[in-house]
Structure 1
Amino acid sequence: MVVPFAGTAGVGARDAATWFDEQPSDLDTAGVAQRSRILAADGSLIATFYSENRVDVPFARIAPVMRQAVVAIEDSRFYEHGALDSKGTVRALVTNVGSGEVQQGGSGITQQYVKNLLISQADTPAGKAEAQALTPARKLRELKYAVAMEKRYSKDEILRRYLNIAYYGAGAYGVEAAAQRYFGIPAARLDLNQAALLAGVIRYPYAYDPIEHPDVARQRRDTVLARMAQLRLISPETAAETAAGPLELHPKTFRSGCVTSKAPFFCDYVQREILTNPVFGSTAAKREKLLKTGGLTIRTTLDTQTQRAAQKAVDRHVPRRNSARKAAAEALVEPGTGRIKGMAVDRALGPNKERGKTWINFAADADHGASIGMQSGSTFKVFTLAAALEQDMPFGTRITAPGSYTPTGFRDCKGRRVGDPDASLGNSADGEGGRSFTLVTGTHHSVNTFFLELEHEVGLCDTVKMAERLGMRQANGKPLEQYPSFTLGFNSVSPLRLAAAYAAFGARGRYCRPVAITSITGPDGKGRKVPSARCKQVLDKGVADAVNHVLQGVLTKGTAAGMGIGRPAAGKTGTVDNFSAAWFAGYTPDLASAVWVGDPRGGYRYPMTDLCMDGECYGEVFGATIPAPIWQDTMEGALRGRPAGDFHRPPGFYFSLGSGEEAPKRPKRKTPAKKPGDGKKKRGDPPAAADPKPRKRAA
């Protein structure tokens, strides 16, 4: 074969023989695409990603009958000849080159493995075309590589590699994926019927696809059985008996991506973590290739019990295709570790134009979900409270909350004056102004003007720095904006960051960046570097204990009274200006959560007032109206059957002015005028001490 292309018959043949015997410098057997898997903390499958659906398996995990069937039909003398089966190759080369198309397949298994390897490693359409071109040069290159393969690997290893790289039709690459695709079993459990069918498919996978062409596939299977009988690998009787039976397909579909995942938005978060983090590759293209071809096993922090509870809760209170087109999102983080335990959105992952679907992960920041965040409302008051407690203000510290507040005398962290002397910020509930509150009662009743006065006393910059120490930034990645109404929550943030901040209180001041991935291993079992939570003590334990003490009362005496979960818990409601959104952030020592409810079309344009949603009607939606019940249902389900942790008693000096529990008398609420929907079923009307809505910030 070499002589006609070698120049002269003597020297040329000698040089060609030397060329064949040399190990090719560009021989690389790595880089075969394998599918990656994302797993929950318990090892259950969340999703798969692939460009080619392939799982590489060792020789021992391929049924012996499968190996026999492939050798019988593809290269019966495989274990006897070297890299070149001269009879078959010469016949195929002459026939195919003469006709200009593939009419015979005389290549042995080693050559077929080389061809598949070169095709798989080609990164461009042109490269793949070159790897399949009907030219003598391509054939000679394959033969040279085949010689090298025979020197480098045993026959069993070459056969294993071939079985793992071959295409079996229906999107299945490799014998393991093919066994799962057609029969729903691993390759180790293939029987004679199944093995003969798969072995026959390899030659022309599109023509012999048993799902699309069952009759042709069955004929091909019978051909393999007959060949196995001819080679005395099975008896004629066994071949005939098997051929008389049906194909017995049990197709199983493997979809690439997060759309069909049971935790689609957590899955999408993990995917974006890999696609955007330079630790997984210097370019976006390299990171995507790693995910789709690297055969990674990605173990995550997701707790399936927590995820089920969260998804059930958001879907129950804000149905996916609700008539008001509102949305809900929740993120759950483990205090002290930063591990994301659950992430739920009341939508399916998909095109936004389809009702009940979205590509935007409302629970995450823009870099992990395309969301620009939502104004946080009164959930930000906790940072002012923490700053005050850090300055050793006792629980009984009293501050008068005026009926309205003009923000003057504020400076940001650069020392610049901020505020608007013509602006007036106030409270939403009647009669809240003009009286004094303690740190405890002011927090329980979430009094806007009280917190504006408190922020002025502790310093706007100290409040901002407290939030930043606890990981807060805008969802678009920018630093928090600094204005007097900072404490009222005008900054747009994500539920995930808010949950992580509140988790730090549950962990007694230890803040951890949210993390979703615990480990990543490649096909070779070697681990890869993953993002760290970078846990750090950012708050004195006593200060965190004091915050926890105050926020526990929100669930018993404050704006979220009645939202307890039967174990020690703390939290804070949040209602955004004009009822454009509502929040609840709450936690135990073991789990923290933040819930947002609003309108993706724009909260100010579509506020949650006189809201009717699938037969449920509400007057004005506060943090305790819908978000808190979602939190309550989630936490009860997530923590069911798990031991309850407890908070620590704060240092004694915080009680130096008393407990701060004195509740001021509140006037009776006015009877509201009858509104549309009053005749329908209502729930979630705000309690007497309703969470006040923040006003717009003063620029």
Structure 2
Amino acid sequence: MLPGLRDDETQDKFRAVRGLFGFGALAGVLVALLLLPTAFTAGVSTRDAAGWFEDDPDGLDTGGVPERSTILAADGGSIATFYYQNRIDVPLDQIAPVARQAVLAIEDSRFYQHGALDSKGTLRALISNLGSGQVTQGGSGITQQYVKNLLLTQATNDSERKGATEVSAGRKMRELRYAVAVEKRFSKDEILRRYLNIAYFGDGAYGIEAAARHYFSKNASKLTLPEAALLAGVVRYPYAYDPVNHPAVARQRRDVVLARMAELNWIPKATADAAAGQPVQLHVHEARNGCVSSAAPFFCDYVQREILTNPTFGKTRADREKLLKQGGLTIRTTLDWKTQNAAQRAVDRHVPPKNSAHKAAAEALVEPGTGAIKGMAVDRDLGPDSQRGKTWINFAADADHGSSIGMQSGSTFKVFTLAAALQDDMPFGTMMDAPTEFTPTGYRNCDGKRVGDPNASLRNAADGEGGKQFSLVTGTWHSVNTFFLGLEKEVGLCETVQMAEKLGMRQANGKPLEEYPSFTLGFNQVSPLRLAAAYATFGARGKYCKPIAITSITGTDGKRLKVPTAGCKQVIDKGVADAVNYVLQGVLTKGTAAGSGIGRPAAGKTGTVDNFSAAWFAGYTPDLASAVWVGDPRGGYKYPMDDLCMDGECYGEVFGATIPAPIWQDTMSGALDGTSATDFHDPPSHYFSMGDGETDPNKKDKKDKKGGDTKSPDTRGPDTSPTVPPTLSPSPKPGGGPQH
């Protein structure tokens, strides 16, 4: 018979226990206690039974619980969080004492006085709850509840989840045995800390720190008495007492907690009454999960894909995703908010996200000499492509980091031919003919095979300067197609391709660059990020660094994980890079991008793809490099940018200097504002052996209009074996735009 009850009352109470599912856990404890004396009758002594409880059970893993991971910018500001369970593990001293008291009062007031099982408290709670008709006091102690939550959190399949939650004496016996082991392993304070960090507080908040931030927009260390009591009350039935969805019930439960604290003399009754008289005041903050809501969504997505695709972070994708969403990682990145915001403003200003022409823009910015990605912007929100103004495709990155297989690069690739020529010590004043038409014969790829089509020819379709001579300098400034085809033949197609490869270029789909005579005109499909990193090499005086977004990753244990490195190395002589810089500075002052300067030493190159299907600008200073693409995600050849009108503004034909260069100009001006300018180095004197290359031997005072960059035909032709020379038809088949 239970103390204080008559036989008939006792029988009534036990019948109530059997009939009330709401008291299942409490009844389970009682059943376990009643079964304990007979649990080992089949040849097992009481001493053996005691030993079974005292032995450390197999399979009890008290390791870290799932925690959310955070991606941080270079200044420590948050970019995004990732989680399966929104949880932030904190030390006990970062939880307000009043919050600890509130939880102990309603869940296990004798926690510091009993061991793994408080039989006295369990029976008292049973009697109290049955007498009041509702659950006012917990049956399982804090340690047992911690074990239950731990087993549920660690469950990886339905069977394990069922085993952790089923109402049975077997589960309670197992929990009790684990609780005994936990009490042996940890101090009471540590058990309480672990419990408060693992418990579910409703509405997606796991652990008291996440709950405090979610419901009250504050840390757990700042919780007041009414707030602490509200959270303490939620723990027993998180779905029923959730204050967001059930505010009235949550308030009633809060007042029960306050009354219990007063009953225990942990707070004065007057204090409890005053707190109970206050309304529930929530300041709900939804914890962001993933990149969609990030202020730098495409950079965030790049970092996420870096972790999900790189074997450094786990053998399988499932392992890597688990690490990201449960590992509690602190991921520090290279993102500079000033640069990022400047880029986003620029692309959105010149190519609005929901523009009437359905065009798109993307920009990537890389720091010369380090490879650090300082910004990455797309004029879209991250989201379903079916919704206007959104896309899942990161047009700034390669396929493995953004699903885009790239866009034809146009005349931005001429810089690799220029660099190859300067590497051969070709002086600035070297003169070459630029015929009206050019027949590509005599080219060999890096396998020594002849490539080209003797039956086709290319023209200078946009500049109208065929039949003249140009120097290495003026041919670059005016971006003359036939001049560069001849220059590429002079220095060698393979040498040009190898120069591009040394500077990190490859197709956005991950394959090597294709090698045909029109390589210098930019038919390969690449990403803005790789192009920015290549141009950054010139700004760094020939030092190439692989673009990196992550600087460090720290686990919950404080240990650092291995992260990809930039692997910086000198790939071309400093003097060669200095000479390239000298030539490309003139593009911004006297060439196709004249008027696009930023008030400090800068260099760059325009690029216009055949049929105006896309336009580019790649430019840099010694401190920052950027590549900008503008085109149509639906396919550039099907939706070209000639006679373009967008949101009431008409451009006619769009060249590299028409929209991409102004985006670059606005971005760089904003990103570098307030910083000291860095000068380029003078090129070696031997490049001036035939003059500075700026004199026009044709003696014509003709200036290219801004945007006079030559068109770059798609000269790849049909997708046949690389040994078959592609057609050089100026009317390529559709499909040159970005591919998904």
- TM-score (ref. length: structure 2): 0.90
Residue of structure 2 equivalent to 1:207: 240
Match of 1:499, SS state, is helix
1:565 counterpart = 2:598:
yes
Post-superposition offset of 1:86: 1.6
Amino acid at match of 2:261: M
- Superposition pairs for residues 390-469 of structure 1, below 5 Å? 390-429=423-462, 431-469=464-502
Post-superposition offset of 1:423: 1.3
Please give the alpha-carbon distance, in whole angstroms, between the structure 1 residues aligned to 2:229 and 2:136: 22
Post-superposition offset of 1:594: 0.1
Post-superposition offset of 1:407: 0.4
Q: Is the 8 A contact 2:657 2:707 kept in 1?
A: no
Match of 2:714 among 682, 696, 699: 696
1:188 counterpart = 2:221:
yes
> CA 1:454 to 1:226, structure 2 compared with 1: closer, same or farther past 3 Å?
same
Match of 1:487 among 510, 520, 524: 520
Match of 1:328, SS state, is strand
Post-superposition offset of 1:460: 0.3
> CA 1:460 to 1:228, structure 2 compared with 1: closer, same or farther past 3 Å?
same
Post-superposition offset of 1:25: 2.8
> CA 1:104 to 1:694, structure 2 compared with 1: closer, same or farther past 3 Å?
same
Match of 2:300 among 221, 246, 267: 267
> CA 1:579 to 1:689, structure 2 compared with 1: closer, same or farther past 3 Å?
closer
More off after superposition, 223-232 vs 18-27? 18-27
Match of 1:607, SS state, is coil
- Superposition pairs for residues 513-662 of structure 1, below 5 Å? 513-662=546-695
Amino acid at match of 1:693: K
Match of 1:331, SS state, is strand
Amino acid at match of 1:55: I
Q: Is the 8 A contact 1:201 1:208 kept in 2?
A: yes
Amino acid at match of 1:109: I
Amino acid at match of 2:456: A
Please give the alpha-carbon distance, in whole angstroms, between the structure 2 residues aligned to 1:103 and 1:637: 60
Amino acid at match of 2:341: R
Q: Is the 8 A contact 2:423 2:576 kept in 1?
A: yes
Amino acid at match of 1:652: S
Match of 1:142, SS state, is helix
Q: Is the 8 A contact 2:518 2:715 kept in 1?
A: yes
- Superposition pairs for residues 286-325 of structure 1, below 5 Å? 286-325=319-358
Match of 2:415 among 371, 382, 385: 382
Q: Is the 8 A contact 1:3 1:13 kept in 2?
A: no
More off after superposition, 103-112 vs 279-288? 103-112
> CA 1:696 to 1:658, structure 2 compared with 1: closer, same or farther past 3 Å?
same
Cα deviations by residue, 1:237-286 (Å, 9 ceiling, x for unpaired) = 10111111111110001121000100000000000000000000000000
Residue of structure 2 equivalent to 1:135: 168
Please give the alpha-carbon distance, in whole angstroms, between the structure 2 residues aligned to 1:282 and 1:95: 53
Residue of structure 2 equivalent to 1:681: none
Match of 2:300, SS state, is helix
Cα deviations by residue, 1:109-157 (Å, 9 ceiling, x for unpaired) = 0000000000001112322111111122211111111111111111111
> CA 1:481 to 1:5, structure 2 compared with 1: closer, same or farther past 3 Å?
farther
Q: Is the 8 A contact 1:6 1:13 kept in 2?
A: no
Q: Is the 8 A contact 1:337 1:533 kept in 2?
A: yes
- Structure 1: gaps spanning 5 or more residues: 97-101, 670-685
Match of 2:288 among 238, 255, 258: 255
Amino acid at match of 1:355: R
Number of residue pairs matched by the alignment: 679
Post-superposition offset of 1:428: 1.9
Q: Is the 8 A contact 1:37 1:45 kept in 2?
A: yes
Post-superposition offset of 1:30: 1.4
Post-superposition offset of 1:542: 0.4
> CA 1:372 to 1:689, structure 2 compared with 1: closer, same or farther past 3 Å?
closer
Q: Is the 8 A contact 1:333 1:340 kept in 2?
A: yes
Amino acid at match of 2:178: Y
More off after superposition, 492-501 vs 31-40? 31-40
Post-superposition offset of 1:6: 3.0
> CA 1:636 to 1:262, structure 2 compared with 1: closer, same or farther past 3 Å?
same
Match of 1:43, SS state, is coil
Residue of structure 2 equivalent to 1:328: 361
Q: Is the 8 A contact 1:419 1:484 kept in 2?
A: yes
Post-superposition offset of 1:103: 11
Please give the alpha-carbon distance, in whole angstroms, between the structure 2 residues aligned to 1:499 and 1:653: 28
> CA 1:64 to 1:578, structure 2 compared with 1: closer, same or farther past 3 Å?
same
Please give the alpha-carbon distance, in whole angstroms, between the structure 2 residues aligned to 1:665 and 1:272: 54
Q: Is the 8 A contact 1:431 1:667 kept in 2?
A: no
Residue of structure 1 equivalent to 2:705: 687
Please give the alpha-carbon distance, in whole angstroms, between the structure 2 residues aligned to 1:545 and 1:566: 20
- TM-score (ref. length: structure 1): 0.95
1:174 counterpart = 2:203:
no
Q: Is the 8 A contact 2:107 2:137 kept in 1?
A: no
Cα deviations by residue, 1:354-380 (Å, 9 ceiling, x for unpaired) = 000000000000000000100000000
> CA 1:502 to 1:694, structure 2 compared with 1: closer, same or farther past 3 Å?
same
Residue of structure 2 equivalent to 1:675: none
> CA 1:59 to 1:103, structure 2 compared with 1: closer, same or farther past 3 Å?
closer
Match of 2:364, SS state, is strand
Amino acid at match of 2:431: R
Cα deviations by residue, 1:392-428 (Å, 9 ceiling, x for unpaired) = 0010011101101110000000001000111111112
Amino acid at match of 2:507: Q
Please give the alpha-carbon distance, in whole angstroms, between the structure 1 residues aligned to 2:68 and 2:711: 49
Please give the alpha-carbon distance, in whole angstroms, between the structure 1 residues aligned to 2:57 and 2:471: 81
Post-superposition offset of 1:105: 4.4
RMSD value, Cα:
1.8
Cα deviations by residue, 1:490-547 (Å, 9 ceiling, x for unpaired) = 0000000000000000000000000000111111211111111111110100000000
Amino acid at match of 1:250: H
More off after superposition, 416-425 vs 10-19? 10-19
Match of 1:27, SS state, is coil
Post-superposition offset of 1:646: 1.0
Q: Is the 8 A contact 2:656 2:707 kept in 1?
A: no
Amino acid at match of 1:501: A
Q: Is the 8 A contact 1:426 1:695 kept in 2?
A: no
Match of 1:562, SS state, is coil
Please give the alpha-carbon distance, in whole angstroms, between the structure 1 residues aligned to 2:198 and 2:533: 44
Amino acid at match of 1:216: V
Match of 2:712, SS state, is coil
1:228 counterpart = 2:252:
no
Match of 2:381 among 343, 348, 366: 348
Match of 2:355, SS state, is coil
Please give the alpha-carbon distance, in whole angstroms, between the structure 2 residues aligned to 1:3 and 1:243: 42
Residue of structure 1 equivalent to 2:731: none
Match of 1:575, SS state, is strand
Match of 1:609, SS state, is coil
Q: Is the 8 A contact 1:445 1:689 kept in 2?
A: no
- Structure 2: gaps spanning 5 or more residues: 1-32, 130-134, 717-725, 727-740
Please give the alpha-carbon distance, in whole angstroms, between the structure 1 residues aligned to 2:588 and 2:525: 25
Match of 1:277 among 294, 301, 310: 310
Please give the alpha-carbon distance, in whole angstroms, between the structure 1 residues aligned to 2:714 and 2:502: 25
Post-superposition offset of 1:688: 6.0
Match of 1:219 among 252, 259, 279: 252
> CA 1:357 to 1:688, structure 2 compared with 1: closer, same or farther past 3 Å?
closer
Please give the alpha-carbon distance, in whole angstroms, between the structure 1 residues aligned to 2:483 and 2:341: 39
Please give the alpha-carbon distance, in whole angstroms, between the structure 1 residues aligned to 2:455 and 2:343: 44
Please give the alpha-carbon distance, in whole angstroms, between the structure 1 residues aligned to 2:138 and 2:221: 28
Cα deviations by residue, 1:453-484 (Å, 9 ceiling, x for unpaired) = 00000000000000000000000000000000
Amino acid at match of 1:80: Q
